[in-house]
Chains A and B, each alone.
Chain A
């Protein structure tokens, strides 16, 4: 039976009841309704619900046709508190299994239950699918992490099959998945988090700060970097060195990441410009490693991965204005050319520097502890001011 049909019956019954009420008000009370009425004791027992089923059936028959007795019962039931008692007993006793089963599949229940269940199922499937997709992404990242290889020169290079570079590895140094390599495909904040969780960063040597402050003595342990001094080979123009490794403190790592990010953004903008304009002839090298995912991290063997990226920035407008600024990135540090000197981007003018002359004993001991500085000094000719582990060195 359709709901509309039930509604029609409901309306008709209401109208019939209203007419009966009107008739009752006028004449029905004066009539003797259905013979013998229930006495006060029977009415009270019925209202208090203490009658047997046979008695109830008998009384129902009379009450269905007797307006006055029904009215007395209606007045008695609320005072007897039967409503609450029946509600409690119904909740305790419950229905029989057939009523429960039929109520479970009643149209009034299914009308709301089916959409609710469908919605719940859709949400559950969506959550499962989303989780599976995230899991797949993690697997892909893990596969790219297996690519980093430590080169013979102690530089960590990330194997990328996209750019066709042939991976090189040193047989003496086992390949280890680097936690820092994860940040290749991560965003900036994720990179920072990855760096914070990096075992290299956590295994910071105790003398690192001392080395940064220039207190490192020749032959003294300088943490990760000093365990095996490795000299980086000369960078090849055809194959630029990979991204620098991180053997410094967390603060330096974070600063490096930020700079890498800024450099990546700069490169991205430059590439977008180059799509619409002819490629700049003065562009010396492309920072492929950094542009494709940033620097790779050094492993916990203390091998300082070196990666130098040299670029010369400057758009046509800047050239036209004569404001060409030459920058180079060496060992993860960004240098600006000022005259004959290469100055670290982190160097603040007026800051005190430790003067080191190439070839001196001080230079040798410093580069022995910090091979990256040697690489910087060799790749950048002339005077170099580099900020390394909190200390500014002026290398001449």
Chain B
């Protein structure tokens, strides 16, 4: 075991030397400091899924690290002023742009960007007396610009959560009203005068909604993520496919298959739990879908109008 560890350490030391050689400006970062950082990244990403990596895997992992970005961040973490100057100069616009995209206005974006730089410097002091900076979490695996955008995004979510908690306490009654509205089952038969039919249809819609939600939860992680991205987050197939790492056509085929799977699962669930027959299931599907079609049509038209407007402006 110790031989294996020693072999990994030797491999990482050699790979770190190559990384330093690759860096355009190493900012006087020593190999020992860098090896520690790289070893942490290997533990986090490589050894978790493959505890016994080969030398080739190790070399491949280290050779794909962003040498310049990693040296810059390590130097900043060590308090290198030149590195900080370069970091702000090179990535100031990136941070500002990311903050602007998640903020409601310019002031919010400025505040967020300032918060990011403060987080990167480190507001708290660690046990070893050094500031607890977010820079310690950059592994060098991805680009530094992307990592900074992710940091901005996380900080924006944190700020939004804090604001939401404050707003929730103030507008509790309003939220309760919204939740109650969302808890209503799908039904487009409110205008019906027959209360028995209305109650029956509402119950059928509620059962259908419950069965569909349960069926979505039973999907595989990737299928469920595709459904969430496409239907819940409103992404296009091309965008959802890009997140999943597949082509738009592949995402489309997967979605068609998911439709089939969901339909089967919902029908089986309704049959087993509520004793629905197939004609009853089909009728419930068609009626609720008919109502949804009428209900969603204005939204789709709105999406089309927004799309057309954006195309015209571009």
Contact = CB atoms under 8 A, between A and B. Distances in A.
Contact of B233 (A55, A61, A74): A74
Contacts of B256: 6, 108
Nearest to A53: B49
Interface string A40-59: 11011101111110111100
B166 to A, nearest CB: 10
A41 B137 contact: yes
B168 A86 contact: no
A30 B186 contact: no
A87 B286 CA distance: 36
Interface string B279-299: 000000110110011011001
A14 to B, nearest CB: 5
A268 B229 CA distance: 81
A75 interface: yes
Contact of B286 (A8, A13, A99, A108): A8
A160 interface: no
A7 to B, nearest CB: 7
B262 A9 contact: yes
Contact of A30 (B134, B164, B263, B292): B164
Interface in B152-198: 153-154, 157, 160-161, 164-165, 168, 175, 178-179, 181-182, 186
B137 A40 contact: yes
Interface stretch (B7-15, B236-244, B305-313): B236-244
Contacts of A22: 178, 181-182
B129 interface: no
B134 A40 contact: yes
B164 A5 contact: no
B246 A44 contact: no
A55 B250 contact: no
Contacts of A51: 45
Contact of A61 (B102, B221, B244): B221
A347 B140 CA distance: 104
A371 B64 CA distance: 102
Interface string A18-31: 11111101110110
B314 interface: no
B100 to A, nearest CB: 12
A30 B222 contact: no
A5 to B, nearest CB: 6
Interface string B52-77: 00000000000010000000000000
Interface residues of B, number: 77
A86 B243 CA distance: 9
B269 interface: no
Interface stretch (B16-24, B81-89, B205-213): B205-213
Contacts of B138: 40-41
B143 to A, nearest CB: 7
A61 B228 CA distance: 12
A18 B297 CA distance: 13
Given A1-B259, A64-B224, A86-B241, A26 B250 contact: no
Given A40-B150, A90-B247, A29 B161 contact: yes
Nearest to B162: A30
A344 to B, nearest CB: 77
Nearest to A108: B256
B276 interface: no
Nearest to A10: B259
Among A7, A71, A76, find the residue whose CB has the most chain B CB atoms closer than 10 A: A76
Given A17-B231, A39-B137, A95 B259 contact: no
A332 B204 CA distance: 96
Contacts of B96: none
Given A18-B296, A40-B154, A74-B229, A12 B289 contact: yes
Contacts, number: 210
A147 interface: no
A25 B213 CA distance: 19
Contacts of A64: 221-222, 224-225, 228
Contacts of B113: none
Contact of B292 (A1, A14, A99): A14
Interface string B216-235: 10000110110111011111
Contacts of A26: 175, 178-179, 182
A48 B245 CA distance: 10
B253 interface: yes
Given A19-B182, A60-B225, A76 B146 contact: yes
A76 B234 CA distance: 16
Interface in A71-102: 71-80, 82-83, 86-87, 90-91, 95, 99
B260 A6 contact: yes
B141 interface: yes
Given A41-B142, A76-B153, A18 B161 contact: no
A18 B231 CA distance: 8
B3 to A, nearest CB: 26
A20 B222 contact: no
A339 to B, nearest CB: 87
A80 B146 contact: yes
A379 interface: no
Contacts of A315: none
Contacts of A210: none
Among A50, A79, A106, find the residue whose CB has the most chain B CB atoms closer than 10 A: A79
A126 interface: no
Contacts of B293: 11
Interface of A: 1, 4-23, 25-27, 29-30, 37, 39-41, 43-45, 47-52, 54-57, 60-61, 63-65, 68, 70-80, 82-83, 86-87, 90-91, 95, 99, 103, 106, 108
4 closest A-B pairs by CB:
A17-B231, A83-B242, A90-B247, A72-B153
Given A13-B216, A49-B245, A75-B149, 15 more contacts: A1-B263, A8-B285, A10-B259, A12-B288, A16-B212, A25-B178, A45-B139, A50-B142, A56-B245, A63-B225, A79-B145, A82-B243, A82-B245, A83-B241, A87-B247
24 contacts: A6-B263, A8-B285, A11-B292, A13-B262, A15-B295, A22-B178, A22-B182, A30-B161, A41-B137, A41-B138, A41-B147, A41-B150, A44-B149, A50-B142, A51-B45, A52-B45, A70-B233, A72-B150, A74-B235, A79-B145, A79-B149, A86-B246, A90-B246, A103-B253
